Amino acid sequence: MLDATQRARYARHLILPGLGLDGQRRLRGARVLLVGAGGLGSPAALYLAAAGVGTLGLVDDDLVDLTNLQRQIIHGQGDVGRPKVDSARDTLTRLTPDVTVHTHPTRLTAANALDLIADYDLVIDGSDNFPTRALVSQASARLLVPHVWASVSQYQGQLSVWSAGEGPCYHCVFPQQPTPDQVPSCAVGGVLGATVGALGSLLAVETVKLLTGIGEPLIGRLLVHDGLAATWDVVTVRRRPDCAVCGSGADPTRALGATTAPGEPTAYASVGERPTVTARDLAGLLAAGATLIDVREPGERDGATIPGALPVPLADLLGGARPWSGDRVYVHCHSGARSARAVDALRANGIDAWDVRGGILAWLTEVDPEGMPSRP
C-alpha cells in the first residue's frame, strides 16, 4: 500500500492512464540493477528513484573524477575521489529517502555476474566498455532477466531492450565485439553530456514500461539517435537462431565471456582474466624498479603524475608504440577504464601487463594525498 505522503509524491503517476495505483505499487516492489554509475546510469538511476522504484542496485568499481562531472550528473564537485556507488547512493537517498540502494563496489566479471544479476528483476547496462556489455548480455540471457541497454559515442547513441525468449539478445545483433582500438572511448573521442542524458533518461522510460506492463518496449527494435542531426530512427532487429548466447544450441554451462565454440578465436578477452594491482602495492613495485605506463593524454598529466611513469597515450599504445624494455609492465590512467583496455590489448600481444586499480585517483587517495590537485 501507499501511505498519504507517497500518494501525494506520486500523484502525477497515479492519474496516468495505464500506470495508476497498481503500476506505482509494482514500481515500489521492483528491484533494478544498474551496471555503471556514470553518464548513462546517472539519469537512469535518478529518474527511477524519483519514480518510486523500491530497490536499486549499483555496480561500479570506479572513483569520481573531475572529468566525469560534465555528464555524470549524479555526482558533484565534492564527490571527486569518492567511490561512484557511494556518491550515487547518497544522491539517490536525498532525492527519495525511502528508496533502498544496494552498492556493489566491484567490477562486473565472469565470476560474479550471475550472482549479482540473479537478485534483481531487471538489469540496466550503462557500462562504457564492450567486455562488460557482453557479460551483462550473457548473464541476463541465461537468467531470463530483461536487459535494458544503451550506448553513446560523441553525439550519437543507441538503445534497445534485450529479452531472451521474446526477442533478440545483445549478441544476436552484435555477435562480434570490437577490439579497444576500433571504437574511441569518451576519454579519447569525447562525448556530449546532454546526449548521454537523453539516452539515460530513455533507459528509465523503458524500465518503467517493463516493470508496470504499459506501452510497447523496444524488444526487437533498436533506437538510433543522432544529436547533431536531431534525428531518432528505429531499426528492426531479429533473433538469430544460431546465436551462441540465446540460440537453440547455446550451451548453458559455457563460461561467461566466451561466445565462440571451443578452438575458435574469442572476440574479446574476459575482464575476469585481467590481473590488477593496488596503488599501495604499486608504490613498492616502483621502488623495486617496475615499469609503469601512463596512458592518459598529455594535457591530463599537467594536474598530477606518478613519479617515474612513462607517458604513452592510449591511442599510441594501441597503435603499437612500445617505448620500454622488460617483460612486465604496469598501466594506469585516470581511474581505470583506459588502462583496462590497454592491458587487454597488451596481454593479447603476449605482454605481461597489469592494471593499476583506480588509476591515478587511487594513487592520490592512498599513496600521495598531497599530490591531489586543488579543486576549483
In our burial notation (b when 16+ CB lie closer than 10 A, e otherwise), range 323-345 reads eeeeeebbbbbbbbbbbbbbbbb
Exposure string for 176-204, b = 16+ CB within 10 A, e = fewer = ebebbbeeebbbbeebbbebbbbbbebbb
Contact 44, 159 (CB under 8 A): no
Name the catalytic one among 172, 243, 246, 333. Answer: 333
CB of 241 closer than 8 Å to CB of 226: no
243 classed as catalytic? no
Query: What torsion do the CA atoms of 93, 96, 102, 107 make, to the nearest 10 degrees?
Result: -80
Q: Which CATH superfamily is domain 4-236 in?
A: NAD(P)-binding Rossmann-like Domain (3.40.50.720)
List CB contacts of 209: < 8 A, sequence separation 6 or more: 215, 216, 217
pLDDT on residue 311: 95
Please give the torsion angle defined by the CA atoms of residues 233, 53, 337 and 353, in that order, rounded to the nearest 10 degrees: -120
Predicted local confidence at residue 186, as pLDDT: 63
Q: What is the CATH number of domain 274-365?
A: 3.40.250.10
Q: Is-catalytic flag, 246?
A: no
Alpha-carbon gap, residue 301 to 291, rounded angstroms: 17
Q: How far is 225 from 228, CA to CA, in rounded Å?
A: 9
Contacts of residue 17, defined as CB under 8 A and 6 or more positions apart, other chains included, come to none
pLDDT number for residue 330: 96
∠ CA 107-110-112, rounded to 5°:
60
Contact 75, 69 (CB under 8 A): yes
Inter-residue contact 159 to 203 (CB < 8 Å): yes
Q: State whether residue 137 is helix, strand or coil.
A: helix
Q: Of the residues 169, 186, 243, 246, which is catalytic?
A: 186
Domains 4-236 and 274-365 share a fold: no
Beta bridge partners of 162: 147
Look at the chain and count its residues: 376
- Where do the structural domains in the chain lie, given as residue ranges? 4-236, 274-365
- For the chain, how far is it from start to end, CA to CA, in angstroms? 46
The pLDDT value recorded for residue 375 is 38
The per-residue DSSP string of 175-240 comes to -SPPPTTTS--HHHH-B-HHHHHHHHHHHHHHHHHHHHT-S---BTEEEEEETTTTEEEEEE----
Q: Considering only CA atoms, which of 124, 199, 123 is closest in space to residue 154?
A: 199
pLDDT for res 53: 96
The closest of 106, 111, 175, 114 to 145, measured between CA atoms, is 114
pTM above 0.85, yes or no: no
Backbone angles phi, psi at 35, to 5 degrees: -95, 105
Say what the pLDDT of residue 368 is.
Answer: 83
- Helical spans, DSSP H, in the chain: 4-9, 11-14, 20-29, 41-51, 84-95, 113-118, 130-143, 170-173, 186-189, 193-212, 279-287, 314-318, 337-348, 359-366
The tens place of each residue's pLDDT in the chain, 376 residues long, gives: 789 999 999 999 999 999 999 999 999 999 999 999 999 999 999 999 999 999 999 999 989 999 889 999 999 999 999 999 999 999 999 999 999 999 999 989 888 999 999 999 999 999 988 888 889 999 999 999 999 999 998 888 999 999 867 889 998 888 766 655 455 566 656 788 899 999 999 999 999 999 999 999 999 999 999 999 999 999 898 888 888 888 877 777 777 775 443 333 333 333 345 788 988 889 989 998 999 999 988 877 877 899 999 999 988 898 889 999 888 999 999 877 788 888 888 887 889 999 998 888 889 888 887 755 443 3
